[in-house]
Amino acid sequence: MGDPKARYRYSGALFEPEPWHPAIEALLPRLEAACGARFNSVLLNRYRDGGDSMGWHSDDEPELGTDPVIASLSLGAERRFLLRMRADHAVKMECRLADGDLLVMRGDCQRVAQHALPKMAGVKAERINLTFRWVMPAR
Ligand SMILES: O=C(O)CCC(=O)C(=O)O
């Protein structure tokens, strides 16, 4: 979802954003003030329960530029969030993301680290995660 020009390429496919939902667009001023950054797009991920997960990756698509600011807003079930250094996977940290938490990744985070949201046995409730980004229009 995002501004019409905020198209991005991922795994060889070009994604056209959905227009902003007014309830999500209304969050932008507070998010941008909190992060000191602009956002023109948001990626929404739905985890139906603890069986849904996201593997290790970095948000390092070229459209995000160097050292992107990524604001991740969590809604719904509390889940574990993991971060590890690319150069040494033993160097890692973990936090819990609860309903309403805002996690901000910035600086060299996407260049030097990877993140993941592991499966969590026993979690029955749904979680929705919104990651706000600035996407440079794809050519
Ligand atoms: O659901 C989360 O907290 C992580 C989402 C994520 O890693 C992503 O959208 O790149």
Q: Determine whether the shortest distance from the Cβ of 101 to ligand 1 is under 6 A.
A: no
**Inter-residue contact 12 to 136 (CB < 8 Å):** no
Alpha-helical segments (H) within 13-100: 22-25, 28-35
71-84, pLDDT tens digit by residue? Answer: 999 999 999 999 99
Question: How many Cβ atoms from other residues are within 10 Å of residue 86's Cβ?
Answer: 13
**Whose CA is closest to 129, among 19, 47, 8, 38?**
47
Which residues, 6 or more positions from 14, have their beta carbon under 8 angstroms from its beta carbon?
7, 8, 138
The predicted model gives 106-134 an average pLDDT of 97
Q: What integer pLDDT is reported at residue 91 of this predicted model?
A: 98
Rounded Cα distance, 32 and 87, in Å? 31
19-73, pLDDT tens digit by residue? Answer: 999 999 999 999 999 999 999 999 999 999 999 999 999 999 889 999 999 999 9
Measured from the Cα of 129, ligand 1's closest atom is 1
Q: What integer pLDDT is reported at residue 121 of this predicted model?
A: 97
Could you tell me the pTM of the whole model? 0.93
Between 79 and 14, whose confidence is greater? 79
Architecture of domain 8-133: Sandwich (2.60)
The predicted model gives 89-111 an average pLDDT of 97
Measured from the Cα of 116, ligand 1's closest atom is 7
pLDDT for residue 9 is more than 80: no
User: What confidence tier does 107 reach under pLDDT thresholds 50, 70, 90?
Assistant: very high
Q: What integer pLDDT is reported at residue 103 of this predicted model?
A: 98
Please give the span between the terminal C-alpha atoms of the chain, in angstroms, as a whole number: 18
pLDDT for residue 139 is more than 70: no
Measured from the Cα of 81, ligand 1's closest atom is 3
